[in-house]
Amino acid sequence: MPVHERGYTHWRPTGLRPDPVWWVIARRGWTGAWRHRWTLLLLFVAWVPAVVKGAIIFVKAKAGQLLELAVGGQWTSITPSGFLAFLEGQRFFVFLFTMILGAGLIARDRRDNGLALYFSRPLGLADYLLGKTLVVLGGYLAVTLAPVLLLCLFAYLIDPGATGVELLLMTPLRALLFCSLTGAGLSLVLLALSSLATRTVLVVVWWAVLCLGGEMVGAIGEGIGLAGLQYANVLGHWHNAGSLLMGAEPRLPVPPLASLALCALAVIAALAILRARIRPVEVVS
Amino acid sequence: MHDAECTIEINDLTFAYRTTPVLREVQCAIKPGAVGLLGPNGSGKTTMLRAILGQLPLPPDRVRVGGYDMSKHARAGRRLLGWMPERGGIIPGFSGVALTAYLGELSGLPRQDAMQRAHEVLHFVGLRDERYRPCETYSQGMRQRLKLAGALVHDPQWLLLDEPTSGLDPGGRAAMLELVADLAGRKGLGVILSTHLLADVEAVCREILVLKEGRLLARQSVSTGELHGRHVFEIAGFGGEAAFVEALKRLAVEVHRDGRHIAALLDVDKLPAGLGSTTARAVRALLELAAACDYAPRRLRRRPVTLADEFHSLIKPEAR
């Protein structure tokens, strides 16, 4: 026997409760992303429209409808439709944040043989996928739902009589539902793309083509009067389908139900890809 | 608590990657202790470890760890296993201690416990101040130590080590083997050491499983007792080498090439009839045989049979 030994010791449980594995993965994803100063800077920029809208709401409450006529458009209104317009205006930041947080999430794990490492631990596909989805969803909600909720509260506080319970309860609930569903759907689509590559830059390109390219094609279609081209507007379909939930006018010249069906199909395809691609061993019989 | 009866049972395990069979009808039960998994490249060692981890789609009851069927209860089974992969095993962006704690949390440890365990196991494997550095800046030796820490952090009952000394210098290799031998010998952990380096197995393991082309060829003790009595005559020379080897084989002598030597494995208690009844006569007979084959020996050396000789004789092309 050695006189002194500081060697391997067995673990003595302390009785603390472990966090769910999906939460551990999500927490790690967030802390990893927010550690970068430029991510925080981008978040700050993404909140500028919300601050502008808040200022307009404030001035409007004090100066009446005159300002609304001057600024014009739904964007400044505090109705569900107005908030949908605001969310639509945030789509560039949605593209950026989801890309920064999610493009490399699975691609890097595939490149570094990380999937095998994860699946040598007591966790399943659902834990892994939920954790990774929450990372992207967190970024999405930070630039969409969070400002909407704060704006609702702000508008109610400066003029409680304006829309009352609708503004304090129903609009936030609708926004919560819309943002959660849209965010989760977009996150799954992005993660599916990420699972197809081992290089983050490739996923960034695909995501840009899908989001920005789709929007450009849609804009061209609108310009030349070809409504069929709007079907390529990937982000636009989520907002178009969301118009059903938010009680707003359709955002595209496409039936909202058709957009909803397309979004559902995209999620189903994404889940199928993720199920096929996320596995600890690359090629199995 | 560590269970002395936490056995790994493999029952009629057959597996193929697409149409390429990798494991064929492997059957064994492994009790806690240090076991070497030996085989040439492509023999199915890593696939066998992955089957034990429950990472392969297998029918029920092919692999059981501590009684858990890994096709149905992989999560419960994996709590008992710590895996040190040959490739990867490191997620860039983490410091050493953060990665180890993260793996601990993924294995079901509470956050505080995971961080405390991470520090303990990193200290044990010899990573001290380096533990705060980003792990992608680690040297190969430090990476191997970090991977071992990751495998140990949740205090498993079994360690599955896939080529743990790969890429290490002699000093790092000796240190790694010392750690593994300590874990297996004194801390009561079961160890499956997959490697093609026989010296690693001899240093750490009590028994070996030999895989070849996906089949379990042999299972035997590493103790020298079983090898006692058998000797190797190493012959180096020039001339009619092929004829000499053929002549030895006709006398039922086990022969394999070992670098520039011809190694003839002989049991000195049961020499083939053509070589006489004593060692001295066997040596003379060997020299006469060499001369008859126009093979001119420059050197002939007698030494005890090692694990390497046994391994070579098991995996030579005509075995099975």
* Extents of the domains making up chain B: 8-221, 230-315
The rounded distance, in Å, linking the Cα atoms of B172 and B178 is 10
Contact status, residue B315 vs residue B217, Cβ threshold 8 Å: yes
Which region holds residue B229: left if phi is over 0, alpha if psi is between -120 and 50, else beta?
Answer: left
Amino acid of residue A120: S
- Sorted by sequence, the CB contacts under 8 Å of residue B61 that are 6+ apart come out as B11, B69, B71
Task: Give residue B320's pLDDT.
Answer: 42
- Which residue stretches of A144-232 are H helix? 145-158, 165, 171-195, 200-208, 214-224
Nearest residue of B to residue A279, measured between CA atoms:
B55
Fold exhibited by the domain B8-221: Rossmann fold (3.40.50)
If you search the block for the tokens 């089974």, which residue do you land on? B77
Mean pLDDT of chain A: 87
Task: Tell me: pLDDT of A3 over 70.
Answer: no
Chain A residues whose beta carbon lies within 8 Å of the beta carbon of residue B159:
none
Determine the distance in angstroms separating the CA of A250 from the nearest CA of chain B, rounded to an integer: 43
Max Cα-Cα span within chain B: 75
At B230, the pLDDT band (50, 70, 90 cuts) reads low
Q: Which residue has the higher pLDDT, B191 or B197?
A: B191
Identify the bridge partners of residue A244 per DSSP, sorted by sequence position. Answer: none
Chain B residues whose beta carbon lies within 8 Å of the beta carbon of residue A18:
105, 108-111
How far apart, in Å, are the Cα atoms of A189 and each of A98, A125, A179? 11, 16, 15
pLDDT in tens, A66-125: 555 555 556 667 788 888 889 988 999 999 999 999 999 999 999 988 999 999 999 999
- For helices A91-102 and A234-246, what crossing angle results, to 10°? 120
Chain B residues whose beta carbon lies within 8 Å of the beta carbon of residue A13:
113
Task: Give residue B82's pLDDT.
Answer: 95
Task: Give residue A285's pLDDT.
Answer: 41
Question: Does A108 sit within 8 Å of B92, measured CB to CB?
Answer: yes
Q: Which of A112, A121, A124 lies nearest to residue B88, judging by beta carbons?
A: A112
Task: Give residue A98's pLDDT.
Answer: 94
If you search the block for the tokens 């160890």, which residue do you land on? B191
The two domains B8-221 and B230-315 share their CATH topology (first three levels equal): no
Chain A residues whose beta carbon lies within 8 Å of the beta carbon of residue B72:
none
How far apart, in Å, are the Cα atoms of A159 and each of A62, A66, A154, A162, B246? 9, 16, 9, 6, 102
- Beta carbons within 10 angstroms of residue B41's beta carbon: 7
Question: Does B111 sit within 8 Å of A112, measured CB to CB?
Answer: no
Q: Which of A14, A116, A123 lies nearest to residue B88, judging by beta carbons?
A: A116
The rounded distance, in Å, linking the Cα atoms of A19 and B105 is 8
User: Six-digit token pair at B8?
Assistant: 């790994």
Question: Does B187 sit within 8 Å of A285, measured CB to CB?
Answer: no
The rounded distance, in Å, linking the Cα atoms of A199 and B157 is 36
Question: Does B87 sit within 8 Å of A24, measured CB to CB?
Answer: no
Mean pLDDT of chain B: 85
Mean pLDDT along residues B45-50: 92
pLDDT in tens, A39-48: 889 999 999 9
Question: Does A7 sit within 8 Å of B182, measured CB to CB?
Answer: yes
Mean pLDDT along residues B219-237: 70
Least confident of A135-139, B177-181, B280-284: B280-284
Instruction: Enumerate chain A positions whose Cβ falls within 8 A of a Cβ in B.
Output: 6-11, 13-14, 16-19, 21, 24-25, 28, 32, 108-109, 112-114, 116-124, 279-281, 283-285
At B319, the pLDDT band (50, 70, 90 cuts) reads very low
Q: Which of B17, B124, B186 lies nearest to residue A284, judging by beta carbons?
A: B17
The rounded distance, in Å, linking the Cα atoms of A136 and A92 is 15
- Sorted by sequence, the CB contacts under 8 Å of residue B80 that are 6+ apart come out as B6, B65, B66, B68, B156, B157, B158
Nearest residue of B to residue A106, measured between CA atoms:
B91
pLDDT in tens, A245-262: 888 888 888 899 999 999
Task: Tell me: pLDDT of B223 over 80.
Answer: no
Task: Give residue B194's pLDDT.
Answer: 93
Question: Does A119 sit within 8 Å of B55, measured CB to CB?
Answer: yes
Task: Give residue A141's pLDDT.
Answer: 96
Chain B residues whose beta carbon lies within 8 Å of the beta carbon of residue A28:
102
pLDDT in tens, B77-128: 999 999 999 888 888 889 999 999 999 999 999 999 999 999 999 998 988 8
Determine the distance in angstroms separating the CA of A146 from the nearest CA of chain B, rounded to an integer: 28
Burial of A37 (0-12, 13-18, 19+ CB in 10 A): exposed
Nearest residue of B to residue A15, measured between CA atoms:
B110
Determine the distance in angstroms separating the CA of A102 from the nearest CA of chain B, rounded to an integer: 15
pLDDT in tens, B1-20: 456 578 999 999 999 888 88
Determine the distance in angstroms separating the CA of B282 from the nearest CA of chain A, rounded to an integer: 47
Mean pLDDT along residues A42-66: 82
Mean pLDDT along residues A6-25: 89
Mean pLDDT along residues B37-55: 91
Task: Tell me: pLDDT of A221 over 90.
Answer: no
Contact status, residue A118 vs residue B107, Cβ threshold 8 Å: no
The rounded distance, in Å, linking the Cα atoms of A126 and A113 is 19
Query: CA-based angle A151:A154:A155, to the nearest 5?
Result: 85
The rounded distance, in Å, linking the Cα atoms of B246 and B26 is 33
Q: Note the pTM of the prediction, 2 decimals.
A: 0.84
Least confident of A187-201, B139-153, B291-305: B291-305
How far apart, in Å, are the Cα atoms of A285 and each of A45, A282, B46, B57, B241? 49, 10, 16, 8, 45
What is the SS3 assignment for A51-79?
Answer: HHHHHHHHHHHHHCCHHHHHHCCHHHCCC
The DSSP output letter for B197 is -
> Does an H or E element contain A242, and which?
helix A234-246
pLDDT in tens, B132-160: 999 999 998 899 999 999 999 999 999 99
Task: Give residue B292's pLDDT.
Answer: 87
CATH architecture under which domain B230-315 falls: 2-Layer Sandwich (3.30)
Task: Give residue B225's pLDDT.
Answer: 47
Q: Give residue B66's Cα distance to chain centre.
A: 22
Q: Look at residue B33 and give its three-state secondary structure.
A: coil
At B162, the pLDDT band (50, 70, 90 cuts) reads very high
Q: Which of B85, B105, B183 lies nearest to residue A116, judging by beta carbons?
A: B85
